[in-house]
Amino acid sequence: MRVLVAYGSKRGGTAGLAEMLGAALTAHGVSVDVRPATEAHGVEGYDAVIVGGALYTGRWHRDARRFIQRHVQVLQSLPVWLFSSGPLDDSAARNELPPIAQVQRLMNWIGARGHKTFGGRLLPDAKGFIASMMAKHRSGDWRDPQLVRAWAAEIAEALRAAREVPRRAWPRMEEQPPEAPIV
């Protein structure tokens, strides 16, 4: 079973989550390639895809959105999961946070199997006007490796179960893909 984990990350926090996810899936016997979404040029040859994006001002990272747009037809035929990183507090560890509307539209468009929101990370010396202002009061690391490992275990189990079920028989979020969302 080969899985691609593609991500969009501006400050490295989401990249770190993608690496944690790749390591956790590998520990479950899954062959994983972890790549920035801009460097993941094809999804052919993969049995499943996981796409992650950082959340900035209520929007999912542009590279993650564009990755889905470029590969929509193949993604609609594969098991796909999405994840977001961003809350700069422990809310993602305390509660199951739903995807933002933009990510939900993308999930519906490709028929994603699930989504997980993880806490984000903001370094105290973040560059850029908005990030540096936020870092004065909200810097920290709320990524939870235990939650990442637990989600990876769920995905690995779903992939194991899928080996016995033809792809077309997998339940999808919607039978007919909706029109392309505005992203």
Based on the number of CB atoms within 10 Å of its own CB, is 179 exposed (0-12), middle (13-18) or buried (19 or more)? exposed
CA distance 135 to 79: 37
In angstroms and rounded to an integer, the radius of gyration of the C-alpha atoms of the chain is 16
- Given this model, what pLDDT does residue 36 score? 98
CA distance 138 to 122: 7
Greater confidence, 173 or 78? Answer: 78
pLDDT in tens, 45-67: 999 999 999 997 789 999 999 99
- Given this model, what pLDDT does residue 11 score? 73
Does domain 2-168 fall under CATH 1.10.3720.10? My reply is: no
- Given this model, what pLDDT does residue 174 score? 47
| pTM to 2 decimal places | 0.84
Q: How far is CA 107 from CA 1, 12, 29, 90, in A?
A: 22, 24, 26, 24
Residue-range domain boundaries for the chain: 2-168
